[in-house]
Amino acid sequence: MPAPALSANPQPVLELLTAFRRSKTMFAAVKLGVFDALGDGPASLETLTTRLGLHASALPRFLNALVGMGLLEHRGEDYVNSPAAEAFLTSRSPQRLTGYLNFSNRLGWKLWEHLEESLQSGTHVWSETFGGDQAIFSHFYRDESDKYEFLMGMHGFGLISSPHVVAAFDLSRFKKLVDLGGATGHLTMAACQRYPELTGCVFDLPEATPLARQMIAASPVADRVSVQDGDFFQDELPSADLYALGRIIHDWSEEKSHRLLQKIHTALPTGGALLIAEKLLQEDHLGPDWAQMQDLNMLVCTEGRERTLSEYRKLLTSAGFSQVTGQVTTSPADAILAVK
C-alpha cells in the first residue's frame, strides 16, 4: 500500500526540531575545551581522549557531529579545527565569541527554558529561573574570569559588526565620539580608524574599563581614544558632538530608554547626533530572523526589546531628536543615526 502523500514540506519543522541539539553541541564543545585542545594543530582521537578526559566511546560520536556541523574537519585520521572554529571558538583568538557562548550555555539556555512563562507574564524570568532580584548584568561580572570572557565575547561581536555600523553613515563631520557603555572600545576604535580626524572616548562602568584600556593601548588609534569610568544613567556624560549606544537600548524598558535618550539629547550641541547599533526588525515585524530571535531573547533576559526603524524614530523624536535615519547592514547590528 503506498504511503499517503504529505500535505506540506516537513523540512522546516524537522530542522527546528533538532536546532537546539546543534546549539548545545557547540556550547558543550566550547565548555569542554575541544577547540582549544586542537589549537596547536591536528590531533588523533586517542590524543584528544587523553587531553579532554572524555569517554573513549562517546568522544568520536561527539567529534564527528562537530565535523558534520562544520566546526571540525578530518585530516587523515586526525581532527582539526575548521577556520570558523579557530577564529571564533578558541580562547586564544582575539575574535572569539566564547564568552557569549558560555553565557548562552550557563544562563541563556536556562532562561529560554521558561519562554512560556515570559510569554504569559510579558517580562523576563530572571528571578524565577535563578532566584534573587539582582539584575542580569551583575551576573556577567560575578568574578574576574566571567567578566573578562563576557566582555571578550562582546568584543568578538563588535569586531564583526562595528566596522559596518560606523560605515553606515558619513560621520566625517563629527569631532568627538563618546561611546556610552562602550565595553572594550571596539566601536570607538573602528570609528577612529575610519575617520582620521575623529577622537573618541569609551565611557563605561569601572568593572569594564580596565579591559578597554588594555585593548585600546594595543590599537593603531590609541593616541586618539581615551577611557572614562562612569554610569550613563547616574553620572554626567563627557562632552561630545556624537554619542554612541551599541546594543544598549534593547536592554532597557521604554521609560529607562526615554530617560537615557533625553539625557543624551540635552548633552549634545545643536547638530550633534546619536549613533545606535542594534538589529532592526522589519516594519511588519516578520523578519529578519536574527532580530526576531534577539527580540525573544530580550523578553526572557531583560526589560527591553528589539524595534523597527519607525519605532526607534518614535522613541527618539519623543526624546527631542529631529532627523532619524536607519541603515541595514550585513552584520549582527544595523545602524540608526539621530540628529539634534
The residues annotated as belonging to the active site are: 250
Instruction: List phi, psi (to 5°) of 138.
Output: -65, -25
Instruction: Write out the three cell numbers for 213.
Output: 584600556
Distance CA 39, CA 192 (A): 32
Distance CA 153, CA 147 (A): 10
Query: What residues form DSSP beta bridges with 273?
Result: 242, 339
Distance CA 236, CA 197 (A): 25
Sign of the torsion formed by the C-alpha atoms of 36, 40, 42 and 48: negative
Helix, strand, or coil (residue 136): helix
Distance CA 66, CA 72 (A): 6
- What residue type is 27 in one-letter code? F
- Which strand (E) or helix (H) includes residue 324? strand 323-327
First-residue to last-residue Cα distance in the chain = 72
Any residues with CB less than 8 A from the CB of 100 and at least 6 apart, and which? Answer: 150, 153, 154, 156, 157
Tell me whether the omega of the peptide bond preceding residue 288 falls within 30 degrees of 0, making it cis.
yes
- Cβ(188)–Cβ(253) below 8 Å: no
